[in-house]
Structure 1
Amino acid sequence: MVGSGNPEAGSLVSTYRSVLPAGARRGIVRKVPAPLRSAVKSSLTSVDAVRSATIVWAMGGRRNASRHSAAYARRVVRVGGRHMRALLVDGATAWAARARNLHILTSVLEAGGIDYFCVRGTAHDVPTVAVPAALRDEAEDMLRIAFDQTPGYVGPAAAPAAESAMQPGDEDKSWRQLRKQRTLRVAWYVTDPTQQLVFGADQGCDLEFWTERDGWLEAPRANRVADRVPVDAPRRTAPQALFSPVPPAYTTGDVATLAEFSVRLPEDHAFPVDVVYTWVDDSDPAWRAARDRARGALTGGTLHEQAANDARYTSRDELLYSLRSLHQNAPWVRNVYLVTAGQAPAWLNTDHPNLKVVDHREIFSDPMALPTFNSHAIETQLHHIEGLSECFLYLNDDVFFGRPVTPGHFFHPNGLTKFFQSKALIPVGDVQADELPVNAAGKNSRRLIAQQFGSALSQKMKHTPHALRRSVLSEIEDVYAREHLATQHSRFRSPKDIPVASSLHHYYAYHSARATVGDLRYQYVDLAASLAERRLNSLLAHRNFDTFCINDTVSGPDPDAQTRMLERFLETYFPVPSPYETRGLPGIPATRAAELRSTDA
């Protein structure tokens, strides 16, 4: 039977339990029969091999797995005011830690010959494994041996603050306190070499004990599919990713489950999601010369100071860290497209199979509109990217994923997009000649929506990743052809621009029943503001925002100080390199990065 594990190991567990009473077993875990300990150790060794492969993938496939496995070490880290034991892993991510925990748990159960099946649970981002309650003692014994081999933690899954309730899994007291709990959280903690990142209880797994009654196994709590199943229901295998939003690249194979839990559900996101970045290298002499020529050729008035000021184009390697945030917190994306004016950062791994640099010339429907220095113009052409998925995320390089997010943060399972309204309002009245470009664009969007749908827009959008659909963008190009074409040909931000990707798409899709208002925990930081450093320090201390934007549309009095402040923050918040970086060419040298992290904010 799939999921029954190793029968020989299972018989060893039974012998071990029959020879030793409960009190003795819990006191001499280190003296358990050698074959049983070997079975668990072998299981954990296989987990280490899978973990190494996962880290190799995470680092872009350019590292040696055997060298990595030998480099693992234990560290004591501070989590929520407590000192916890964690495995130090180069390239650690939350998703890899979650995949590892699920694989350890199922491997240990299989090593002990303990029947289990994975469940489509309701716990947010946490995979769930079910074991018949009659096998609880055997399961706990196996876990105690595993925790003795590889230190980890166990606690009640229902705890309001799971981290504070986690206890060492190799201590008797921990298990005595949990005897009345029908659902446990188990986790083996992981940290990165800088120890800025710790992945613990939130990346753990839940272990449920299902009670047998009248030929049925009954769940201890609700789940998304079935609260009871036949005792003799046949086991089958299914991909690990089905039971938590672990991206396919992080999965470690199939796990045992039941037919009821192995099918696609209406709330599953079954479509691919790509990411599109727009980026410019303002230090490129050729690009600067082209911009200056285009600015000098302008006729019919002057530009608003925010339409082409240097701060709008300044690059401080934010893209490097935004890609790190993507890799850390949203690795479920399929492909990344970087839209540029024929440029690419020196550190970019252009050989990565899921990364493509797209030149403006490849997507602009009218080449005469180039060169352009207007993000509004570039955004009108994103849906022309060849191979781009229907549903995709668009973001600038100053937008970051602050903690693990899922496709559900941005898209409904049926493909409807979500947008995130700001408290900032679009000013009333018509567009004025000296209007801020962002306000003029908002007013133009409001005018078009009012003309077609009869409603008046009042709110701007947050600076978040924008969830878009190619079909909606294509429709907008046809419906608002005149305004769309004029924006494409606007080389700098103009009072006549329409904000296609950052606003108009959302409101147009909403009024045509293809988008809804979403809810995202978000923070905006203006580097020129007096409270910028305090806000960055708060972000770093709490890491409790889904996304955040660090913007500098206006240069501050000390640009160098702004740069140092931003570098220190980004290197500390996102210390783990992404596979989109070329090894040996990081944005900041390792010595400089260490210096930044050690500098008091």
Structure 2
Amino acid sequence: MRSLTVADAARSALVVRALDDRRRDGAGHASTGPIRVVRVDGRHRRAVEVPGITAWAARARNLHILVALLEEAGIDHFCVRGTASVNPCVAVPERLRTDVEEVLRIVCGHNPGYVGSASRGQMRPGASAASWRALRAQRVLRLAWNVCDPTGNLVFGRESGCDIEFWAEREGRLVAPRPNRVVSEVPVDAGRCWAEQKRFSEVPVMYTTGQARTLPEFVAALPDDHPFPIDVVYTWVDDSDPRWRARKDATRRVLERGTGEHALHEQAANDSRYTSRDELRYSLRSIHQYAPWVRTIFLVTAGHVPSWLDTDFPGIKVVDHREIFSDPDALPTFNSHAIESQLHHIPELSEHFLYLNDDVFLGRPVQPGKFFHSNGLSKSFRSNALIPSGRADSADLPVNAAGKNSRGLIAQQFGTVISQKMKHTPHALRRSVLTEIEQVYAHSHRTTQHSRFRSPHDVPIVSSLYHYYAYHSARATVGDIRYAYVDLADGLAQRRLDGLLARRNFDTFCMNDTVPAADPVAQDRMVANFLDAYFPVPSPYERPTGIRAPRTAPVAELGGVRA
């Protein structure tokens, strides 16, 4: 009779060991809480309330619980890599299936867990013998101990579950019930080894949840693995800083005294371009929630530091414009194109990185392969929106003039005429290619760097030119991403945000406002309510409640811009 021992092991495994003491909920609460009734796949299910829960931690938690139970019960098993599913997977010899079912049924009676087909269908209560009988023909099952955050807005069920495969025994060999990219069968007596659980659940190194039993074949690096680090870069501005606003207004007055090329388009420097609603806080939450594989996040500012940002937490670095501009005379600048032209100068930036505006968010778990091939090639995401025909003109919208300039450079270099803009998604970039672009297009690059506001002469280096240049030089491909764009000034914006929140089925989305709102207060309320509901879990980059930092660094003298 192993039930009591196994149940005790399950209770201890309920702690989300992927979260250390630093991942607090603001009040120092424990990692687990009470059991609540939540809606999962349209049905009422029980879930454990876990402050600070994330998609990757929920997945790691399910793997950890299952592995701990099998170890405690003495049931032979090994973790599997390389299945088509992103969920962790544990294999058990089919002859031990009855033992597995008995153990899991008893444990799910003490700690509510659910079981179902790995491919489709509703999850059934794991404590019910009828559930296991109904699934007896399935050789791959999905197990999930549901969790939710304290608000109930985030619920992780079957999509964060752990698969269990039952491998049949044939002529002294164990045969996999479904394909994986490593082995289809192994000897029954194949030796086992130990590896970190993070290898099977994509938990960051700093949150390793322990060791897992596996086969040597599943420990080896695979061609599809991404062995290189990937960083994230943001540009951000504190539009409420009076010194920054005074500097911006003074610079604009100087430029507008001129005519012709110095005259600013109405969208080159309107207030909407710089307005901050704390989107950065929530975009960082989306990275923490859905992309645990990011190494370092760099925040490029004009000396500003958000009051809520914990700059002492590992993995976040604030970079001043003066650290990256090759020509200090180009500062101050209020032009996102100019700032973006200098990103590859960031000290310690990895070769591969993602560039995000603060109004771009990850909407669900994504893997590095969404943005980079495992051989290092980057991916670009072309939009159906087209670059207008003709040459750039001062009457053009700044974004259209920049697209035309990018088209001219690509045509001159490669003889092709580009027509598509890029989607407002995270931009996958390579530092070496950006360095090369600075050399190849030196004149246009320098002109862009020295444009203090958006200009008809700008080149959109990271959002257009890079992608087409890398594609033509065989260092990038066209990728595919599920993406949504919400124009906050559109009358249907609220309906679109409600749809995003209800379905959570986009890889990434952008909330953009390029023109002043008719009712700024209502728009701010709409955005705040949506972001609080979609991203309720604070990231580790936020200071605990009640601890404030200066809104501006002591030397915030230089300008900044939100792209």
Normalising by structure 1, report the TM-score. 0.88
Equivalent in the alignment of 1:568: 529
Following TM superposition, by how much is the alpha carbon of 1:52 offset from its aligned partner in structure 2, in angstroms?
4.9
Q: Distance in 2 between matches of 1:426 and 1:86?
A: 49
**In structure 1, what is the equivalent of residue 396 of structure 2?**
435
2:239 aligns with: 282
Shift of 1:571: 0.6
State how 1:405-444 maps to structure 2 within 5 Å: 405-444=366-405
1:19 is aligned to: none
Quote the residue 1:42 is aligned against.
8
CA positional deviation for 1:408: 0.9
**8 Å CA contact 1:403, 1:546 repeated in 2:** yes
Deviation of 1:472 (Å): 0.4
Equivalenced residues, count:
544
Residues 543 and 585 of structure 1: CA distance in aligned 2, closer, same or farther (over 3 Å): farther
In the alignment, structure 1 segments of 5+ residues that lack a partner are 1-32, 588-601
1:168 equivalent in alignment to 2:103: no
Q: Which amino acid aligns with 2:30?
A: H
Write the letter of the residue equivalent to 1:322. S
Deviation per residue, 1:16-52 (Å, 9 max, x gap): xxxxxxxxxxxxxxxxx4xx23321332244234x15
The reply on whether 1:238 has 2:238 as its aligned counterpart is no
Q: 2:424 aligns with which of 439, 463, 471?
A: 463
Q: Which one is further off, 389-398 or 71-80?
A: 71-80
Query: Is the 1:55–1:90 Cα contact (8 Å) retained in structure 2?
Result: no
Q: Which residue of 1 aligns with 2:30?
A: 68
2 CA distance for matches of 1:377 and 1:325? 26
Question: Equivalent of 2:409, from 422, 429, 448?
Answer: 448
In structure 1, what is the equivalent of residue 230 of structure 2? 273
Distance in 2 (CA, whole Å) between partners of 1:315 and 1:416 is 33
Structure 2 gaps of 5+ residues are: 549-563
1:203 aligns with 2:155: no
Q: 2:335 aligns with which of 374, 384, 405?
A: 374
- Counterpart Cα distance in 1 of 2:547 and 2:435: 37
Higher relative contact order, chain-length normalized (CA < 8 Å, sep 6+): 2
**Offset at 1:243?**
2.3
Q: 3-state SS of the aligned residue for 2:181?
A: coil
Residue of structure 1 in register with 2:169 after alignment: 212
Name 1:17's counterpart in structure 2. none
Q: Does 1:136 align with 2:97?
A: yes
**Whole-Å Cα distance in 2 between the matches of residues 418 and 244 of structure 1?**
24
Q: Does structure 1 residue 151 correspond to structure 2 residue 112?
A: yes
- Out of 29, 37, 40, the position equivalent to 1:79 is 40
Q: How many Å apart are 1:248 and its aligned residue?
A: 3.0
Using the size of structure 2 for normalisation, the TM-score is 0.94
The answer to whether the aligner puts 1:110 opposite 2:71 as a matched pair is yes
Q: Is 1:520 paired with 2:481?
A: yes
Find 1:506's aligned residue among 456, 467, 475: 467
Structure 1 residue 525, shift from structure 2 partner: 0.6
The alpha carbon displacement at 1:353 in A equals 1.5
CA separation of 1:585 and 1:538: change in aligned 2, threshold 3 A: farther
**Cα deviation, residue 552, structure 1:** 0.5
Give the 5 Å matches for 1:285-324.
285-298=242-255, 299-301=258-260, 302-324=263-285
What letter is aligned with 2:21? V
- 5 Å-filtered alignment, 1:85-96, equals 85-96=46-57
Given that 1:109 and 1:116 are in contact with CA atoms closer than 8 Å, whether structure 2 keeps it comes out as yes
Aligned: 1:579 with 2:544: no
Structure 1 residue 585 displacement after superposition: 5.0
Give how far 1:188 is off: 0.3
RMSD: 1.5
Give the conservation status (yes or no) of the 8 Å contact 1:277–1:338.
yes
The Cα of 1:55 is off from its aligned counterpart by 5.5
Percent identity, aligned pairs only, is 65
| Alignment partners' CA distance in 2, 1:550 and 1:46 | 41
Following the alignment from structure 2 to structure 1, what is the Cα–Cα distance between the partners of residues 408 and 325? 25
> Pairwise mapping of residues 21-36 of structure 1 onto structure 2 (< 5 A)?
33=1, 36=2
Aligned residue identity for 1:54 = L
Task: Summarize the Cα distance change of 1:432–1:484 in structure 2 as closer, same or farther, 3 Å threshold.
Answer: same
Shift of 1:559: 1.2
How far is 1:123 from its partner?
A: 3.4
Amino acid at match of 2:486: V
Contact 1:347–1:585 (CA<8 Å) still a contact in 2? no
Which amino acid is 2:281 matched to? Answer: L
Cα pair distance change 1:58/1:377, threshold 3 Å: same
Give the Cα–Cα distance (whole angstroms) in 1 for the partners of residues 333 and 188 of structure 2: 66
Q: Determine if contact 1:95/1:247 at 8 Å carries over to the other structure.
A: no
Q: Hey, what's the Cα distance between the residues in 2 that align with 1:554 and 1:157?
A: 47
Aligned to 2:442: 481
In the other structure, the counterpart of 2:217 is 260
Deviates more, 1:566-575 or 1:116-125: 116-125
Q: Is the 8 A contact 1:121 1:243 kept in 2?
A: no
2:21 alignment partner, one of 46, 56, 73 = 56
Structure 1 match to 2:179: 222
Q: Distance in 2 between matches of 1:583 and 1:265?
A: 40
Q: Give secondary structure in 1 for the equivalent of 2:30.
A: helix
**TM-fit CA distance, 1:53:** 5.7
Instruction: Please say if 1:496 is aligned against 2:496.
Output: no
